[in-house]
């Protein structure tokens, strides 16, 4: 397939210097594996209706609201429910799961993070996401595929390695370890409680956790191509500008943990940080906690 002449070119994934380049696949790779029974394409969008308007051929839908989150507790579904959901989408132990979605893979990386909590392996992100696929003029279809039921076995969720809770953040704060607030500068400064163009709700107080560095999540993506920036550019962003270090344990957060899962993916898989946790309680919890310390410029 020939991409439109006006489309900005991208450097191949293997030439960008990532710590774990195998965590990403290109749109070309996906196009070459559309008929591969060992590959399952999974679309996870912020816009829950977008999949129905057209998706990558053979892709199944993952609804981040109903498929991943418990309907009663503010927590994720249990092991049995997640396992049943994945099996229903034709995912087995030897299936390579390629996640992609809208908003520069914002929710695809959230699904990736949640699945890693349950020990799911063989996960990939389609670099450039849905937008890159569409801009390249590639095929979309509206038919919902029917894949044979899978046999994947899912582990009990492990919340200790890559997830942080408020008590973890308080301890982290006392030890003066790095925190990254990936929200917009307006949210960080306490001027807004949500991103622009969204309802300004979710917390009683605005601001940020004391000592946090503000690196908006989308800065990790090239806005012209929608693919992740090179490792060198990412190191400049996180280490050169903000002083992060691969040797230090880091906690990332946003409003409900979805934008920060994108930064968790970048730090963990693209830069090779092995001690990054995502605080999914994030500002919706922290900004409502009685006596939780808050900082504003």
Q: How many helices (H) and strands (E) are present in the chain, helices listed first?
A: 10, 10
Please, what's the b/e burial string for 47-61 (b: 16 or more CB within 10 A of its CB; e: otherwise)? eeebbeeebbbbbbb
pLDDT, one tens digit per residue, over 250-285 is 999 999 999 999 999 999 999 999 999 999 999 999
Catalytic position from the list 114, 252, 254, 271: 254
- Alpha carbons 35 and 144: distance in angstroms, whole number: 15
Helix, strand, coil percentages for the chain (3-state, nearest 5): 30, 15, 55
The residues pairing with 213 across neighbouring beta strands, listed in sequence order, are: 180
Which residues have C-beta within 8 Å of that of residue 204, sequence separation ≥ 6?
287, 288
Spans of the chain, pLDDT less than 50:
none
Note the pLDDT of residue 187: 96
pLDDT, one tens digit per residue, over 47-93 is 999 999 999 999 999 999 999 999 899 999 999 999 999 999 999 99
- Alpha carbons 82 and 258: distance in angstroms, whole number: 18
Domain at 13-135, CATH homologous superfamily: Rhodanese-like domain (3.40.250.10)
As a whole number of Å, the end-to-end CA separation of the chain is 50
Is there a catalytic annotation at residue 44?
no
Domain 13-135 matches domain 163-286 at the CATH topology level: yes
- Alpha carbons 174 and 197: distance in angstroms, whole number: 35
The residues spanned by each domain of the chain are 13-135, 163-286
**Sheet bearing 24-25, strands edge to edge:** 24-25, 123-126, 96-100, 39-43, 60-61
User: What is the CATH architecture assignment of 163-286?
Assistant: 3-Layer(aba) Sandwich (3.40)
């Amino acid at each position: 397939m020939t991409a439109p002449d006006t489309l900005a070119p991208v450097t191949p994934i293997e030439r960008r210097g990532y710590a774990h380049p195998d965590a990403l696949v290109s749109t070309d790779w996906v196009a070459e594996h559309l008929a591969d029974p060992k590959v399952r394409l999974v679309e996870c969008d912020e816009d829950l209706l977008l999949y129905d308007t057209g998706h990558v051929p053979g892709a199944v839908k993952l609804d981040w609201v109903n498929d991943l989150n418990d309907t009663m507790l503010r927590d994720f579904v249990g092991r049995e429910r997640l396992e049943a959901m994945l099996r229903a989408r034709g995912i087995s132990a030897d299936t390579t799961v390629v996640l992609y979605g809208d908003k520069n893979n914002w929710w695809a990386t959230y699904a990736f993070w949640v699945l890693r909590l349950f020990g799911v392996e063989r996960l990939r992100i389609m670099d450039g996401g849905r937008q890159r696929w569409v801009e390249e003029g590639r095929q979309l279809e509206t038919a919902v595929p029917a894949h044979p039921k899978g046999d994947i076995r899912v582990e009990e969720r492990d919340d200790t390695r890559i997830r942080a809770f408020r008590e973890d953040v308080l301890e982290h704060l006392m030890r003066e370890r790095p925190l990254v607030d990936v929200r917009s500068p307006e949210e960080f400064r306490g001027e807004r409680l949500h991103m622009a163009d969204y309802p300004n709700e979710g917390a009683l107080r605005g601001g940020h956790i004391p000592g946090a560095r503000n690196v908006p999540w989308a800065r990790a993506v090239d806005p012209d191509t929608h693919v992740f920036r090179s490792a060198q550019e990412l190191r400049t962003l996180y280490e050169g500008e903000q002083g992060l270090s691969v040797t230090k344990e880091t906690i990332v957060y946003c409003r409900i943990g979805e934008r920060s899962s994108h930064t968790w993916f970048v730090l963990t898989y693209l830069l090779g940080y092995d001690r990054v946790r995502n605080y999914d309680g994030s500002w919706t919890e922290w900004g409502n906690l009685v006596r939780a310390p808050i900082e504003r410029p």
